[in-house]
Amino acid sequence: MYTFLRNGATYLQSLAFTRFQTFISFTAAFITYFMAGNIAWGIAIYYTIGSLMGSRLALCVAQKISTGQLRFILHSVTIALIQLVIRVAFP
């Protein structure tokens, strides 16, 4: 999403491009795991439901926040994820 925003795309365009990229990535991963028989269906169902609900929520919220608020949220989430990775990698 950062890449699209930095290259002049609007917030909603960036969101759409990012969602499309994610869809393609998940589809390729699903096909790979399905062909190998490595899918835990009990978990996959919940992840799918959560993903669909989260993407719908993101679309509703996306239309109501400003670009400044978006940047703050993106930076905050990025920093939180980096901290999480550091804590997990170096306990």
pLDDT attached to residue 31 = 92
CB within 8 A of 58, min separation 6: which ones?
A: 15
Separation in Å, CA 61 to CA 12, 50, 56, 67: 11, 16, 9, 12
Per-residue pLDDT of 20-72, as tens digits, reads 888 899 889 989 999 999 888 888 889 889 888 988 888 788 788 887 888 88
pLDDT of residue 36: 93
Contact between 55 and 5 under an 8 Å Cβ cutoff? The reply is no
